[in-house]
Amino acid sequence: MPELPEVETVARRLQSRLPGATIADAHVLWGRTIAYPQPPERFSAEISGGVVNRVGRRAKSVVVYLDDGRVMTVALRMTGALILAASGAAPDPHARVVFDLADGRELRFRDARKFGRIGLYPGRGRRRVADVFARHGPEPLAPSFTAARLASRLRRRSARLKTLLLDQSFIAGVGNIYADEALWRARLHPLRRADTLTEAEVRRLHRAIRASLREGLAGGGASYRDYVDPDGEPGLAAERMRVYRRTGEPCFRCGRPIERIVVGARATHFCPRCQPAPEGETA
């Protein structure tokens, strides 16, 4: 599932190939993909003629900055993918929005499960793009995301670590895969309460979050089923996971079988020896 490393990989690859391109037309094949503006025909009309200036990322969204200051956001959610296809490439049954570029290429938004959302916003004024991300927490790979900052945020919360790591208003970009990986690296149980962490544990968690995301990024993202980059290539990071989807397999640190529990309706993988259960928890 696309999380920060996957979305960042997509954004970087698009940044190397999209700036300067003119979006000649857009075909919306599944209307609900368009979050704003409505109706979708208006989106098509407004994006047409736009010229790509830069492609970046915020949280788990690909952000396309146009020359005129407007901004298109693409939230991939579960199965979304942005694919650059040559003109005349075979049609994709899961394409939800197709952007015709003036140079003949196509930028396709493919999304089997239709959870993905695309928006087109002014850079300033009403409905500006900043509002879209106003509720998101800090970017974990930004230099400003320090251990001290994480500590002060954790101190004020009593929720379980796993739940908090998935909360985009707490930290932006971490999803189920990297949450489990970060907690294993930090040797912290997913059910630990945030406000019970010692200073040393917070520092471990801070390093672990960043290391897990960086490793995912170095591998070009983790592909399990749907994730591919704009060239349709899968990433390599899934092969380096320490706990995610390794239920029953030996822990890389101590050899104990990895366990799977459900936290907040999400599959959660951890090592019962390296990540000791908090007081009062029998797991």
Partner DNA sequence: ACGCCTACCTGCTTGC
Partner DNA sequence: TGCAAGCAGGTAGGCG
The catalytic site residues sit at: 2-3, 60, 266
Are 205 and 188 in contact, with CB atoms under 8 Å apart? Answer: yes
Residue 177 engages DNA in binding (rule: CB under 7 A): yes
Q: Least Å distance between CB 147 and DNA?
A: 19
Are 211 and 163 in contact, with CB atoms under 8 Å apart? Answer: no
Binding mask 217-236 for DNA (x = CB under 7 A): --------x-----------
Q: How far is CA 226 from the centre of its chain?
A: 13
Are 22 and 13 in contact, with CB atoms under 8 Å apart? Answer: no
Q: Least Å distance between CB 259 and DNA?
A: 13
> How many other C-beta atoms lie within 10 A of the C-beta of residue 38?
10
| Beta carbon nearer to DNA, 23 or 74 | 74
Options 12, 17, 65, 115; binder of DNA; rule CB under 7 A: 115
Are 158 and 203 in contact, with CB atoms under 8 Å apart? Answer: no
- CA 179/CA 198 separation, integer angstroms: 19
Q: Least Å distance between CB 20 and DNA?
A: 29
Options 24, 29, 78, 147; binder of DNA; rule CB under 7 A: 78
Q: Which 199-218 residues touch DNA, going by CB under 7 A?
A: none
Q: Closest by alpha carbon to 132, among 60, 51, 69, 41?
A: 60
Instruction: Give the interface size with DNA as a residue count (CB under 7 A).
Output: 31
Tokens of residue 247, six digits: 């239920």
3-state SS of 74-115 is: EECCCCEEEEEECCCCCCCCCEEEEEEECCCCEEEEEECCCC
Cα–Cα distance list, 78 to 13, 115, 150 (Å)? 20, 6, 27
Residue 138 engages DNA in binding (rule: CB under 7 A): no
Options 44, 163, 212, 223; binder of DNA; rule CB under 7 A: 163
Residue 60 engages DNA in binding (rule: CB under 7 A): yes
Q: Which stretch binds DNA (CB under 7 A): 11-19, 72-80, 209-217, 272-280?
A: 72-80
| Beta carbon nearer to DNA, 142 or 267 | 267
For helices 199-218 and 176-186, angle between their N-to-C axes, nearest 10 degrees: 130
Options 12, 54, 105, 114; binder of DNA; rule CB under 7 A: 114
Binding residues vs DNA (CB under 7 A): 1, 3, 32, 59-60, 75, 77-78, 93-94, 112-115, 157-160, 163, 166, 168, 175-177, 194, 225, 245, 264-267
